[in-house]
Amino acid sequence: MTAAILAACGCWVGRVRSSQDVKKCSYENIVVEGLMRKAQVAMGLNPDSHSHLPERAAELPLCVWLEGHITREFQYQGWRGEPWMVKSSALAFVWPIWNRSWPNAKWVVVRRDTVGLVRSVMSTWSMTGRSGAEAWMEWAEWHDRELSRLESEVKYAHELWPTKFCSQGDFREVQMLVETVGLKWNAEAVRELFKKT
């Protein structure tokens, strides 16, 4: 829901999977996701299973070509300089590349409790690369550690726990986030999102 709120408040997302492709819009840019899969393969990772988890993402080789490809793709998709976002779980692996390419980026780190995350991943149709709660728990704990490293090393990171607004209806923190990243809070559009869920 965090990506949906940012998009509803005017953040550019480009070409994303529509609700016809999956039950709900994922807000993941289709071409950028493909580029990040290629980057992970070039870095020696299996993007489906992440069977090899490095000690930390910074140890992985940098894909120097990624920035140019993404910038060109954004322009092709119609980006004209407005605030933009990329939503992807692959960022846990490639964030050092993004941080080098866009050092002034504002990172939104969406957090969930680890057990809830594993439960969600195991019920997601596209997450088939690992089997069993223990294997996915290893993956989730690695992500948690790597996101903490990201938060400590990038210029700006805002940690967000969506349970506050998804289950408690408290939008104050996400409204502050929207305004901090240079967008205008659109209360009506956000309310509409929650009517549809």
Q: What is the DSSP letter of 78?
A: T
pLDDT at 103 over 90: yes
Q: What is the pLDDT of residue 24?
A: 63
Q: Are the CB atoms for 110 and 160 separated by under 8 Å? A: yes
Q: How confident is the model at residue 123 (pLDDT cuts 50, 70, 90)?
A: confident
The candidate with the shortest Cα–Cα distance to 88, out of 107, 63, 62, 72, is: 107
Question: In 64-112, which ranges are E strands?
Answer: 106-110
For 18, phi then psi, to 5°, come to -85, 170
Mean pLDDT of the chain: 86
Average pLDDT for 64-77: 93
Q: Using N-to-C axis directions, what is the helix angle for 133-153 and 114-122, rounded to 10°?
A: 120
Other CB atoms within a 10 A radius of the CB of residue 35 amount to 18
pLDDT at 85 over 50: yes
Q: How confident is the model at residue 176 (pLDDT cuts 50, 70, 90)?
A: very high
Q: What is the pLDDT of residue 73?
A: 95
> Model-level pTM?
0.86
pLDDT at 51 over 80: no
- pLDDT, tens digit, 9 for 90 and up, residues 181-194: 999 999 999 988 87
What count of residues does the chain have? 197
List the chain domain ranges: 2-195
Give the C-alpha separation, 110 to 10, whole Å.
19
Q: What is the pLDDT of residue 23?
A: 39
Give the C-alpha separation, 17 to 117, whole Å.
22
Average pLDDT for 77-93: 91
